[in-house]
Amino acid sequence: MTRRTKTFLLFFLAFAVAFISRPPAVFPNDEEMNIRIYEEAGSSVVNIITTTISYDFFYNPVSATGSGSGVIIDRRGHIVTNYHVIEGARSLEVTLFDGSRHSAEVVGVDAGDDLAVIAVKAPQSKLKPIRLGDSSALRVGQKALAIGSPFGLEKTLTVGIVSSLGRTMRARNGRLMSGIIQTDAAINPGNSGGPLLDSQGRMIGLNTAIFSPVNGSIGIGFAIPADTVKKAVPSLIEKGYVSRPWLGIAGQTIDAFDAAAMGLPSGGVLVADVFRRSPADNAGIRGSTGTMRIGNIIIASGGDLITGVNGKPVSSMDELNNAIDRMRPGDTVSVSVLRGNKTVVIKVELEEMPRNY
């Protein structure tokens, strides 16, 4: 063996020993946390494929598919997602973390909070419920992680922070959703229904929407608070819908300008109509008796002007709805109304909102 060959062998052996004995990769603490959360919470996140039927110009049925995300909430197979993910779906297919596919059925929907619960029949060993966090204790600047299936790409993780709290958003049925979480963790179409997680891997929100002029993430995403989800899910599973209190009026917001034009001392909610046999009707709240024009707008007139609920002022229909939403069916509220030139306080016993309302 030549000296040159010996030198080469010694160099090769030294390199091999150094490579084999090299310690495993060490990740910074932040990366370790991301990996741990993804591996733990990712098994609770599912991909949902929906099939809808539409009709072409000649009334021929045309099927179309869509995708979204969902979160396993118990070992009975219940999965929470967004209402808009499964809206109008003729069939649902869920893909679990191990790649197995299962047909799913709708258990309950709540268009008012953009929530839905669906269910699959799968072995309990494959059903790993997410850990639910407390969204009421969130602070702006906290770490936030989103897991979902953007554009159908399953098991995707994005990382950001809680950008803002207490945002409002319109639901599909026009109801104003409050307490919405804003995050800059990338959320794209297909992320809807997936979890927004804190640094402990607990779900603090359900990703629901983005603000974007390009139909993709620009760092402004929104999530329904986990506390809203926890409040709605039991009713969705038990009844198929969320029981909400109902006042039973149609109203118009009257601002200071409109109030002055109508000769009213303040703004509030003008009762345009009172639904028959509703709580408001039973309590004697009066609807409008006519209309009047202010500029290019037609406004109801002659009805009660609601100015407060339980001693707290309300100046818009959204504020009135929020005040009523804090109550429960069967509760009695004090509604302050301006009738003519006199303020009257009317006691109203709220009822459960009708399903078709």
- The residue ranges of every structural domain in the chain are 40-126, 135-239, 245-352
Q: Where residue 19 falls among pLDDT bands split at 50, 70, 90?
A: very low
pLDDT at 307: 95
Q: 166: helix, coil or strand?
A: strand
Query: Which listed residue (192, 288, 315, 336) is catalytic?
Result: 192
Is residue 84 part of the annotated active site? The answer reads yes
Residues contacting residue 202 through CB under 8 Å, at least 6 positions apart: 130, 131, 132, 133, 226
In the predicted structure, residue 334 carries a pLDDT above the cut 90: yes
Q: For residues 155 and 158, what is the distance between their CA atoms, to the nearest angstrom?
A: 10
Residue 170, amino acid: R
Same fold, 40-126 and 245-352: no
Which carries the bigger pLDDT value, residue 10 or residue 238?
A: 238
What mean pLDDT comes out for the span 47-54? 87
What mean pLDDT comes out for the span 128-133? 95
Query: Which listed residue (114, 184, 198, 227) is catalytic?
Result: 114
Task: State the pTM of this model.
Answer: 0.77
pLDDT at 190: 86
Render pLDDT for 209-239 as a digit per residue (tens, 0 to 9): 887 666 667 788 999 999 999 999 999 999 9
What mean pLDDT comes out for the span 272-291? 94
- The residue with tokens 């919405």 is 180
Is residue 110 part of the annotated active site? The answer reads no
Q: Where residue 196 falls among pLDDT bands split at 50, 70, 90?
A: very high
Which carries the bigger pLDDT value, residue 112 or residue 162?
A: 162
Whether the Cβ atoms of residue 305 and residue 269 lie closer than 8 Å to each other: yes
Q: For residues 183 and 34, what is the distance between their CA atoms, to the nearest angstrom?
A: 17
Q: What share of the chain has pLDDT > 90, as a percent?
A: 62
Work out the mean pLDDT of the chain and round it to a whole number. 87
pLDDT at 15: 47
Give the number of C-alpha atoms closer than 13 A to the C-alpha of residue 186, restricted to the C-beta side. Answer: 12
- Other residues' Cβ atoms within 10 Å of the Cβ of residue 136: 11
Whether the Cβ atoms of residue 137 and residue 113 lie closer than 8 Å to each other: no
Is residue 281 part of the annotated active site? The answer reads no
Render pLDDT for 301-314 as a digit per residue (tens, 0 to 9): 889 999 999 999 99
Q: For residues 198 and 209, what is the distance between their CA atoms, to the nearest angstrom?
A: 18
Query: Which listed residue (67, 69, 78, 84) is catalytic?
Result: 84
- Specify the DSSP element, H or E, that contains 15: helix 3-20
Residue 207, amino acid: N
Render pLDDT for 282-304 as a digit per residue (tens, 0 to 9): 999 999 998 888 888 888 888 99
Whether the Cβ atoms of residue 329 and residue 243 lie closer than 8 Å to each other: yes
In the predicted structure, residue 5 carries a pLDDT above the cut 60: no
pLDDT at 158: 95
pLDDT at 116: 96
Q: For residues 215 and 212, what is the distance between their CA atoms, to the nearest angstrom?
A: 6
- The residue with tokens 């309302």 is 357
How does DSSP classify residue 327? Answer: S
Q: 157: helix, coil or strand?
A: strand
CATH topology of domain 245-352: Pdz3 Domain (2.30.42)
CATH classification of 135-239 is 3.30.590.10, yes or no? no
pLDDT at 281: 96
Q: Where residue 77 falls among pLDDT bands split at 50, 70, 90?
A: very high
In the predicted structure, residue 113 carries a pLDDT above the cut 80: yes
Phi, psi dihedral angles at 259 (to 5 degrees): -60, -45
The candidate with the shortest Cα–Cα distance to 66, out of 168, 220, 207, 193, is 193
Strand 332-339 with 342-349, pairing: antiparallel
Whether the Cβ atoms of residue 162 and residue 141 lie closer than 8 Å to each other: yes
Weakest-pLDDT range from 10-14, 187-191, 281-285: 10-14
Q: For residues 233 and 81, what is the distance between their CA atoms, to the nearest angstrom?
A: 10
What mean pLDDT comes out for the span 173-179? 83
CATH no., domain 40-126:
2.40.10.10
Residue 244, amino acid: R
- Specify the DSSP element, H or E, that contains 79: strand 78-81
In the predicted structure, residue 80 carries a pLDDT above the cut 90: yes
In the predicted structure, residue 242 carries a pLDDT above the cut 70: yes
How does DSSP classify residue 137? Answer: G
